[in-house]
């Protein structure tokens, strides 16, 4: 009985090594245009990102690093390369945050 158990464990070990090897060998890199970090020294979170008609991006979320309150809506506009074009914060003295953003005919609509 011990011999059968040892063989099963050994088989599982080699099977795991073999599948790990093939997973790493044939894995493809993600299709990434650019990678950027936005925000400041405190907690800042992006919740929604959409491409805009000028090939840039609009990102919304919340920030503790900027703004006038404890937590404020954080809105970032980038160009196609991910470079910041402008940033805005919205909110009062309590906690505010953006969950979703999209470009419309009025240019921008945010959901809080």
Is the pLDDT at 98 greater than 70? The verdict is yes
* CA angle, 58 then 59 then 63, to 5°: 145
More confident residue, 16 or 35: 35
CA nearest neighbour of 76 among 86, 91, 64, 68:
86
Q: Where are the domains of the chain?
A: 44-102
| Per-residue model confidence (pLDDT) at position 31 | 73
Is the pLDDT at 22 greater than 80? The verdict is no
Q: 0.85 cut: is pTM over it?
A: no
Is the pLDDT at 66 greater than 80? The verdict is yes
Which tens digit of pLDDT belongs to each residue from 41-54?
Answer: 999 999 999 999 99
93 neighbors 70 (Cβ within 8 angstroms): yes
Mean of pLDDT values over 76-99: 92
Q: In sequence order, what E strands does the chain have?
A: 44-51, 57-63, 72-78, 84-90, 100-102, 109-111
| Per-residue model confidence (pLDDT) at position 26 | 62
């Amino acid at each position: 009985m011990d011999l059968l158990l040892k063989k099963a464990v050994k088989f599982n070990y080699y099977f795991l090594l073999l599948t790990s090897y093939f997973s790493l060998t044939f894995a493809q890199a993600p299709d990434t245009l650019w990678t950027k970090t936005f925000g400041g020294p405190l907690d800042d979170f992006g919740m929604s990102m959409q491409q805009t008609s000028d090939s840039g991006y609009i990102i919304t979320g919340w920030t503790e690093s900027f703004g006038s309150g404890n937590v404020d809506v954080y809105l970032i506009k980038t160009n196609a390369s991910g470079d910041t074009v402008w940033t805005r914060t919205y909110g009062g003295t309590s906690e505010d945050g953006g969950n979703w953003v999209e470009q419309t005919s009025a240019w921008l609509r945010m959901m809080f």
